[in-house]
Amino acid sequence: MLRSDETEVFSVINPEGQSDYLLVCDHASNKVPLILNDLGLTPKQLHDHIAWDPGAAKVAEALAQLLDATLIMSGYSRLVIDCNRALISPQLIAPISDGIKVPANQNLTHKERQQRIDTFFTPYHQAINAVIDQRKDRVTKLLSIHSFSPALAESGKDSARPWHIGLSFKGKAELTDLLHAGLTQNKQLCIGYHQPYEVDEEFDFTLIEHAVKRGLDHAMIEVRQDQLVGEQAAKQWAHRIVSALNHS
Ligand SMILES: [Zn+2]
């Protein structure tokens, strides 16, 4: 589905990173392969949160640098295929997202669906698997970096989300609790615990597949998107997260 001059399906930043932390960013990009013609969406729609997690890649990249951690990022929009959804999920290749119909995702044939899985989803997850396998005896603590919309259009006016940052996990709480304890020292912050989302088997494939199934310490970190506007905002959030990880 990709020409040789198009963006890579995934990128591995700082592959020699020495940190115990391994960073993943499923919704880093809003790119669409040329062959899919912007999925039939407008540039504005493709710039919106339905296509990616605005700001998340910048937070993840800043964290990779501050922690000296390896980071794996998906290179394409979640509307091409959502690398954080289980293959059985109806939202894997979303026909509608937050009330917006995605023209190129209507009534896909089995072949079209399989092409997207084979081209984007499988190589991304194989890359994460390979990086974890290579670490062998090293400790790996997985941090999954996302950003969330201040409110969802389809949830109506009362859906404003008060949390500046949200943390969640499945099973192993240690890393989430460490982050939570560190971040709560800043009294200005409203911190979500299992907010805005709980880790879910259908919607959080990456954490389930690569951390929970392997028994790795992990946390999902979601920063609210309006917190990530401006050049320095992502770096500031990365600093806060690193301070929380290092507090004791
Ligand atoms: Zn996300």
How far is Cα 181 from Cα 172, in angstroms, rounded to an integer? 15
pLDDT digits (tens, 9 = 90+) for 41-97: 999 999 999 999 999 999 999 999 999 999 999 999 999 999 999 999 999 999 999
Please tell me the distance between residue 203's alpha carbon and the centre of ligand 1 in angstroms: 10
What pLDDT is attached to residue 247? 87
| Higher-confidence position of 157 and 12 | 12
Please tell me the distance between residue 47's alpha carbon and the centre of ligand 1 in angstroms: 14
The answer to whether the predicted template modeling score (pTM) of the entire model surpasses 0.85 is yes
Contacts of 30 (CB under 8 A, 6+ apart): 46, 47, 51, 52, 77
Check if the beta carbon of residue 84 is closer than 8 Å to that of residue 90.
no
What pLDDT is attached to residue 159? 76
Per CATH, domain 10-246 is 3.40.630.40: yes
- Structure token digits, residue 137: 């005896």
What pLDDT is attached to residue 156? 65
Instruction: Say if strands 70-74 and 21-25 run parallel, antiparallel, or are unpaired.
Output: parallel
Within a 10 A sphere around the Cβ of 74, how many other Cβ atoms? 32
Residue type, 99: G
Average pLDDT of the chain?
95
DSSP secondary structure letters along 115-146: HHIIIIIHHHHHHHHHHHHHTTTS--EEEEEE
CA proximity to 117, closest of 3, 9, 6, 12 = 9
Rg (CA), the chain: 17
Query: Is the dihedral angle over the CA atoms 50, 191, 89, 214 positive or is it negative?
Result: positive
152 — pLDDT class (breaks 50, 70, 90): confident
Site of tokens 């971040």: 183
Please tell me the distance between residue 194's alpha carbon and the centre of ligand 1 in angstroms: 14
Within a 10 A sphere around the Cβ of 129, how many other Cβ atoms? 13
Please tell me the distance between residue 82's alpha carbon and the centre of ligand 1 in angstroms: 9
Helix (H) or strand (E) holding 224: strand 217-224
158 — pLDDT class (breaks 50, 70, 90): low
Residue 77's Cβ-count burial label (10 Å; 0-12, 13-18, 19+) is buried
101 — pLDDT class (breaks 50, 70, 90): very high
* Minimum mean pLDDT range among 9-13, 55-59, 82-86, 152-156: 152-156
* Helices vs strands, H then E, count in the chain: 7, 9
Domain boundaries, the chain: 10-246
How far is Cα 50 from Cα 115, in angstroms, rounded to an integer? 22
Please tell me the distance between residue 17's alpha carbon and the centre of ligand 1 in angstroms: 23
Residue type, 135: R
Mean pLDDT throughout 235-243?
98
Please tell me the distance between residue 222's alpha carbon and the centre of ligand 1 in angstroms: 8
On the question of pLDDT at 224 being above 80, the answer is yes
